[in-house]
Amino acid sequence: MLYWLYEILKEDSLGRWVNFLKYPTFRIVAAGIFALLLGMLVGPKLIERLRFSQHGQSNVRDHTPESHQKKKGTPTMGGALILLCIAVGTLLFADLSSKPVWVALLVTLGYGFIGFLDDWLKLSKRNSKGLAGRYKLILQTTFYLIAVFGFLSDWSGGFPRLLIETKLTVPFIPTHWWNPDLGWFYVVFGWVLVVGTSNAVNLTDGLDGLAIAPTIVAALTFAVLCYVGGTTLAIADVVNVGGTPKWVGIPLYEYLGIAKVNGGAELAVFCAVIVGSGISFLWFNSYPASVFMGDIGALALGGALGTLAMLSKNELVSAIIHGLFLYEIVSVMIQVISFRTTGKRVFKRAPVHHHFELEGLAEPKIVVRFWIVAILCSSVALMSLKLR
């Protein structure tokens, strides 16, 4: 909305006073700060409201170590604070004519709605089962398909034509060397990516502060990737023109050998809002947590990260960025497969963070070490830019 204000006033005498709004760099930083301050301001009142409405109800998941029983009474659905900050921050600071921004916002809020249904059923039915897994999957798929065929497709010819690039960017390999084209199979691939990331973040949300900090790190990484892939910023380089070396300006994404990201600068604004919202939530969610994220936050943030991986053309790189989340969901898959085929468990309890709890590690130590792993994964992903 603020960008629209600039568009309206730029030809007017007042335009010079709002000229700073046209720069994505300003709006990226301002959006993150705004989301952080909004979360800090609204957080205490929202948490108190959740505590009052959920008084006497158990918000602790089944199949968790006995030590988690002392957390009974801690309110859940704190992810509503994150979604509020994301929605307001994005609408204020992003260019709302950008389709990628609307796609990211649609999936985030849509998956947040699914999480809300799940949390509400858990609380109203006074059990931790919530929304059945098949219904979650159906709703996740529905919102994904609305995003792809409603915003990322052209229907002018009667049959949809995908507007998103279906070629993959391979980590550590320049795009002009090899970028396989999946064609229409990209829709299926993207579904696995978005839904899988959403569920992986949800599984990771089992300890105080465990899921939100790696989400912040991942969103910050995507902010960098979106900006360098979508900005018109050029870098000087020497090229051979007719046998004569000359200095020319090469777009940054071309120099780095990565795919061009449509609307990348505006997606970076969205990423910054996630970072600011996440930091404000971490203030209340750090050990010992005053509020739990709940599925309303975990499913939404996972959906947002999966969508960012698609829109920024970092689908395969996201396996590195989301290495911690991948580790968690794979641990569950291994546990289930092992128990069903051999009757034995590989881990004492899955997801794997509960295994380390039963091994005797203190919760804060597990959380901080997992944060370090998340930072390391994102660092490797960013390092892949230059190694191309």
pLDDT at 259: 84
In a domain, 275, yes or no: yes
pLDDT at 23: 85
In a domain, 365, yes or no: no
In a domain, 347, yes or no: no
In a domain, 386, yes or no: no
CB 282 within 8 A of CB 212: yes
pLDDT digits (tens, 9 = 90+) for 93-126: 999 999 999 999 999 999 999 999 999 998 887 7
pLDDT at 32: 97
Over the range 156-195, which residues count as b (16 or more CB within 10 Å of their CB) and which as e?
Answer: eeeebebebbbebbbbeeebeeebeeeeeebbebbbebbb
- Where are the alpha helices (H) located in the chain, listed in sequence order? 2-9, 24-53, 79-93, 99-124, 133-151, 185-204, 212-230, 252-256, 264-285, 294-311, 318-321, 323-342, 352-358, 363-387
pLDDT at 71: 72
- Give CA–CA dist 325/138, Å, rounded: 22
CB 318 within 8 A of CB 305: yes
Other CB atoms within 10 Å distance of the CB of residue 236: 9
In a domain, 385, yes or no: no
Residues of the chain with pLDDT under 70: 4-7, 9-10, 13-16, 55-69, 127-128, 232-249, 388
Taking CA atoms, 193 is separated from 57, 197, 313, in Å, by 34, 6, 12
- Give CA–CA dist 133/141, Å, rounded: 12
Domain count, the chain: 1
pLDDT at 219: 98
pLDDT at 128: 65
- Give CA–CA dist 77/59, Å, rounded: 10
pLDDT at 222: 97
pLDDT at 67: 64
- State the residue range of the domain holding 67: 2-317
In a domain, 360, yes or no: no
Size of the chain in residues: 388
pLDDT at 247: 55
pLDDT at 231: 80
